[in-house]
Chains A and B, each alone.
Chain A
Amino acid sequence: MEEKKRKIGVYICHCGGNISDHVDVEAVRKQVEEQYGVTVARTSMFTCSDASQNDMIKDIKEQGLDGMVVASCSPKLHLTTFRNMSTRAGLNPFQYVQVNIREQCSWAHSDDHEGATCKAANLVGAGIEKVMRQEALQPIRVTSVKKVLVIGAGIAGLRAALELADLGVEVFVIEKEPEVGGMVAKLGEMFPAGKNGAELIAALLAEVKKRINITLFLNAELTEKSGHIGEFELTIRIRNESAVADRTEETIRIEVGAILVTSGFAEYEPPAGEFAYGQAGVLTLSRFEQLLQESGERLLHDGREVRNIAFIYCVGSRQSADMENGNRWCSRFCCSTATHLAVQTKKKFPKAQCYHFYRDMRTYGKFESLYEDAGKSGTIFLRFHEQHPPRLEPAGNSWQVTVRDLLTGGDEIVVPADLVVLVTGMTARRNDELTRVLKLPLGTDRFYNEIHPKLRPVETVIDGVYIAGSCQGPKNAGESVVSSLAAVAKAAALLVKGYVDLQPFVAHVRSELCVWCGKCVDACPYSAIEKIAYGDKEVAQVVDVLCKGCGACLPVCPLDATQLKGYTDEQIEAMIDVLAREAAHEG
């Protein structure tokens, strides 16, 4: 295959500066342009843009390219994009190689411009060597199980289960708690339809019960996962908390083609003392919501009538960068919720007065009308600077809140409060076992990480495992459902066609070298190697559909007869040779 000189195209991405701010992409282009086998070498502001992809297709067709390298982000993000581009251009998609010069170069070495540039040139050079020795391959097709496991029966999980079921997919829903509904089930009137959270969940649950292809397990958790996209084998542990005194557990095993995680968030719990939290008359947002729902004709707390309510915003959100492990994010829902609760309070108890101590009012989109309604209802807004939060002092049986109000030129204003409501935000729910079993990546904010927030917002690096809702980051109920339906579309698109195309990078035995010692058979975890006759000798042969492409048969072969497609000795060693090369100006 090496006799004929290859015609390889190389595209190097600026990623709009994400790469080119730290890597001299033009220098890299110049260096690889000279490499043997390279026909075209270009840079592009965004290689993933339609315009750039069209340029690549044009190059492949016009110049008769038979190999393609794009040096850009992690293959987790755009490998498929460019394989599809290759297919559209008539190039075998497996003769495309993605080189990661963003996550593993420009970002990791943003402190070392020269080092990053040298490394990028090495990495691109290695990619070229790899594709140079890459034969055309066809994907291996396996059947997929038309079943999905949904983890978490909150609004996002329930909504996803219904939609999947109606697409003809069998759905298992597991919920850790003894009841469905998650956080939404605890909510009162929701904006804008005015529907009660518990009612909303009850309606969804009723729909779930109507569908025979949805099975719901309460008190249930995922404990083991094996297999791969299209065919996962899972173990679920179910706690039996029936009226019988002795608690028992049972485990069941199910097979699914995909997994959707909608495990939700946790409300921020202020440490004792943050804005006097822990003392009488100081509540979190959810506790106040509950109080409002439970209250009858009078708004009472600890048996005393509540007249003045102080809402303090951004508690547990937008924390300072100086704070260790601080919550840097805006929790999105809390400005809208607090203003909404103030409007409801005023409607129910016209004599009550609400004071809002806020940093920035983020009632975005349609929620802006809540802010307007709150203003019209006579509630009072006072704005504080992050550096000068409101001060709480006890005043008899209630509190006195002092603030330097930016809306009145920084005047110090003192407000009496019978109740102080801390407008608490969202934090990541601790799900250590789930994270461990699924190997889901966590961000520094401890929420689950999608592959890309805009381009692949519900997919994870684990093929066939999707995430949606507030387990990804702060979202309100509507936004959670939107993302869960996106995940439904992704999972259903995968499963409804009944098969998954797996990568053809499987093992292969060079029959001419093999003398049948059987070591590869012993090493293979999938019994994918069999003995066949080859001329007048016996040799090993790989059964493609059984081989998972792990390469466990490679190190055990004393004659280097077993090779993994895409990772042959020639490919790996040629890559190593280029990676070892010092750049001309390197020390």
Chain B
Amino acid sequence: MSEFKPRILVFSTDNVSDPGIDLAGRNKMHYPARVLVVTVPCSSGIKPRWIFHALQNGFDGVFIAADGSDCSYVPDCTARTAATVAAAQGLLKEKSLEPARVKMAAVCSVCAESFQKHMISFSEALRKMASAAKGN
């Protein structure tokens, strides 16, 4: 049996976090290949049902690489994204899924290193969650 490798869905944003994630690649900063990115215009536009859909259909975790204060659309982007995360976590609790499977952090257009660190640590946290569930 090979080691459990969590599958992570990342929502990035066209102008803010996606360039940051590109920069990580440009600088050959490695993170697990089971991190897959879907890009949307703004993290305020992410729907709780998408997050829930991902976790119900094969993803172990969802990470929102949020616009944060760099958002060019809405000044309170962080609060709006946080509300989406909270709503998604509510849906998860109903299905007895851990709220910690959804994580958000602001990733700016030059935050390559922080993105890499988030992916490595989130992957590790999900791996621990899986082994705890197995009882070992």
Contact = CB atoms under 8 A, between A and B. Distances in A.
A118 B21 CA distance: 19
A241 B22 CA distance: 42
Interface residues of B, number: 52
Contacts of B47: 554-555, 560, 569, 572
A305 to B, nearest CB: 51
Contact of B9 (A107, A442, A555, A576): A576
A119 B57 contact: no
B74 interface: yes
B36 interface: yes
Nearest to B119: A108
B2 A587 contact: yes
Interface string A111-124: 11001101100110
A419 to B, nearest CB: 41
Residue from A118, A435, A555 having most chain B Cβ neighbours under 10 A: A555
A462 interface: yes
B102 interface: no
B21 A103 contact: yes
B42 A576 contact: no
B38 A108 contact: no
A484 B71 CA distance: 28
Residue from A226, A228, A439, A569 having most chain B Cβ neighbours under 10 A: A439
Given A116-B33, A439-B109, A576-B53, A550 B19 contact: no
A498 B10 CA distance: 37
Given A555-B45, A564-B41, A107 B28 contact: yes
A39 interface: no
A123 B10 CA distance: 12
Nearest to B75: A525
A109 B29 CA distance: 8
Contact of A76 (B22, B37, B41): B22
Interface of A: 74, 76, 100, 102-112, 115-116, 118-119, 122-123, 126, 226, 228, 435, 439-442, 444, 449, 461-463, 505, 523, 525, 548-555, 560, 564, 567, 569, 572-573, 575-577, 579-582, 587
26 contacts: A74-B22, A76-B18, A100-B22, A100-B37, A105-B33, A106-B25, A109-B33, A112-B33, A119-B34, A119-B36, A439-B15, A439-B109, A441-B19, A441-B109, A442-B110, A505-B41, A551-B44, A551-B45, A553-B45, A555-B80, A560-B47, A560-B49, A567-B45, A576-B9, A579-B36, A580-B7
